[in-house]
Amino acid sequence: MQQEKRGEADVRELERVVLPHLDAAYNLARWLVRDPQNAEDVVQEACLRAVKFFSGYRGGDSRAWLLRIVRNSAYSFLEKSRSADLAEEFDETLHVSPGDPQENVEATLIKSADSQMLQKALERLPVRFREALVLRELEGLSYKEISEVMEIPIGSVMSALARGREQLREEILRGREREVRRGLRR
């Protein structure tokens, strides 16, 4: 009976630690493996690992702990499927505008094109820079938390963010230049 209560308490503690961060886990996995279905598999694998190794969790930042497991699971997945070319995700929010039908169609197209260009530019970054940018800009992690997730010194986090931002800027500028040459942008 006592062991049963302890097991229930462990399950509740695991849920308290993991469940609030599942969206962040999926977001990181999706950006790392670049495919929504594979990202779901990675998060599922990470959750299984979290359950298996929960006894080693010693408190602290639960989001950073879970995201480190997701990161490691994603890299394991990528190593296994290195030869497979991962499909580009179709993001309905970029291609279908649920807005007001009276909204200026040209403005909507430009907004969608800019969003697509940003997503493609981010996807072209080396995985280390993309990972750092996603953790900082999309997930809002601090440098210290990113350091814990990526298992690198804070100085390396700052360097990866600076270099990633610079490469992202260059990718966006190249994309705009291509659009100007094709007559898609002024």
The lowest-confidence range among 9-13, 58-62, 83-87, 102-106 is 83-87
- Whether 144 maps to a domain, the answer reads yes
What whole-number distance in Å separates Cα of residue 102 and Cα of residue 111?
16
Q: Could you tell me if residue 96 is inside a domain? A: no
Q: CA 125, CA 181: separation in Å to the nearest integer?
A: 23
Number of independent structural domains in the chain: 2
Does the structure show a pLDDT above 70 at 128?
yes
Query: Does pLDDT of 30 surpass 80?
Result: yes
Q: Is the pLDDT of residue 6 over 80?
A: no
Question: Which pLDDT score, from 0 to 100, does residue 95 have?
Answer: 42
Global pTM value: 0.67
Best-predicted range by mean pLDDT (10-24, 112-126, 132-146): 132-146
Task: Give the confidence band of 94 by pLDDT, cuts at 50, 70, 90.
Answer: very low
The Cα 112–Cα 119 span in angstroms is 11
Q: Which amino acid is at 88?
A: E
Instruction: Tell whether 186 is covered by a domain.
Output: no
Residue 90 lies in a domain: no
30, 45, 80: which is the final residue of a domain? 80
Same-domain check for residues 176 and 108 = yes
Mean pLDDT of 72-85: 80
12 and 57 share one domain: yes
From 77, 78, 186, 71, select the one nearest 131 (Cα to Cα).
71
d(CA 110, CA 120): 15
Banded model confidence at residue 55, pLDDT cuts 50, 70, 90 = confident
The domain boundary residue, chosen from 45, 80, 115: 80
Residue the block writes with tokens 């062991």? 3
Lowest mean pLDDT among 30-44, 86-100, 172-186: 86-100
Domain range enclosing 25: 2-80
Asked whether residue 87 is domain-assigned, the answer is: no
Choose between 163 and 183: higher pLDDT: 163
